[in-house]
Structure 1
């Protein structure tokens, strides 16, 4: 039986993780068949590209799960405005110079059919000191300065995916930015150069380039072989709305690239399947799958692992909020999980970590 929205919100309001984790599973499992009527395969033609390469700039959103959850609880619960939470920025042994904040960020290199290239920076992390180091490590800082990156694609407004925007804008203040519908005033203010002292987040490099807010429920083409889809997702710390990317790799099939995938990986794959031409073949996945982000497990998540192979996935690149426990179970189930190297503060080789790459095509 699914978790009702009322029970979910009640769980969040008291500051526990139960409601949060229950939503992560309920929105992703085969229970979708109870609620979602049959739909035909999609016919929206996004074109083709030759290949897609993803470089994990940082998947270490934070370094201590218990600490980040406790910060939210201490502030009043998981529905508290993220901009007024006094996050832990010192004293964490496994953190970055004691700071528990890290960030999520991926560089996506796309080769088009004519041989030309496009680069997308997917999210921009959290801790600017950490992100400065990560961007430099992968050469992204120079790419930004040379205007080689076509856009910053922000999947959602969460602290670990968006608050490191200063690290990007200091190198390229006029970079085109795409955000999903649902951003709050604070999120737009941060782009303009706001400072939020309680949360210890700021941006001293106001954005001067184009900004696009993507509506939900539509396929939004980016360039040949690439598109995005936005979802109206209600998420912890008062965040709403999340978007993901879809690529059509010639001769292979569709590739889904996510940030957290709070909308549920099954929900995302179903939307791709029934919206985009070629949706009957999901060739690969890369990014956070939002299954056991705090390494908790619910039996319904087993249903999810059983459901994923039904999409014909040949390459599964996951990390971040997927959870190491989830990765272990998927490997045991024989799923094509691409392992990492456990470098640059990524803890295990179970999935793609900081500095690792994955190629589709």
Structure 2
């Protein structure tokens, strides 16, 4: 278990790094904000004696000159602080880009920052990251995947003006590589890439959105299917939930269609819950999980890992709805009625006790307050 300091902790990659650290049970990292980086003494104090510094802060979009200057400056500020540190960290890991040194303002600035950091004398790991995608990416900023997902979630239709092949890596895999942990089933530090053209990516995501619009599960055949689906779902939550389920009634009783899956593995199970009892208080990194209350009344509560706001959905078996748990959100189900609660659950994978992808996290008691985006 290593002690870490992180720049860019409030960004897309930084948030996923902190979520993975939470799942691993590691201590909260020391956060270096942009203001801290401007003060060499503060940097030196914060990184003194830590095992690793993860330099994730960067500038991805903007005027070319601003992008170039921003990335060089951030690297230089961290390097200056390291040189003032009496007890420097054991290693610096730099979230660089495969575009480093490609002749663009962004690529050349990333390469320049790497050279500056390597010159500090601290053991240096220069990690060249490809295009990253994943839950809660900023559309029009972090990745084309985030942009396409947001457009589809809002009912739009992405247009492709220039097709090219992309190499996409899920951000949790990149986080595992930066942290330096071996494969854990849910994450893979070798960063297996999905190679796909832009047009094919749009078609794939459009198919996901079209199938899921009525609550049906698209084909989840491989890990990238699952992660693209989870990425899309993150742009649907919470506005698209709960989703009413079709019911059919006749003289015999009622039938509710709870899950329609178009391919891949899956497991369905039911539970009864006594009045006042809560189930859950955990989050998943990749598992898709659906809740459907069939009898009784309950409250489904959720909180994004690292945030403090709790979202609540009152649900009842009298009017069955589905709520799919977004990945990396702590969630729970509480029986709020006076009778026994009957709930159906569905997951996209068979339960594996050795790799359950279930990480304890209370919904109502978040640990430290969130780091502001861009910090």
Q: Same fold (TM over 0.5)?
A: no
Q: Which one has more relative contact order, counting CA pairs under 8 Å at least 6 apart?
A: 1
Q: Quick check: which one's strand share is greater?
A: 2
Q: TM-score, normalised by structure 2?
A: 0.30
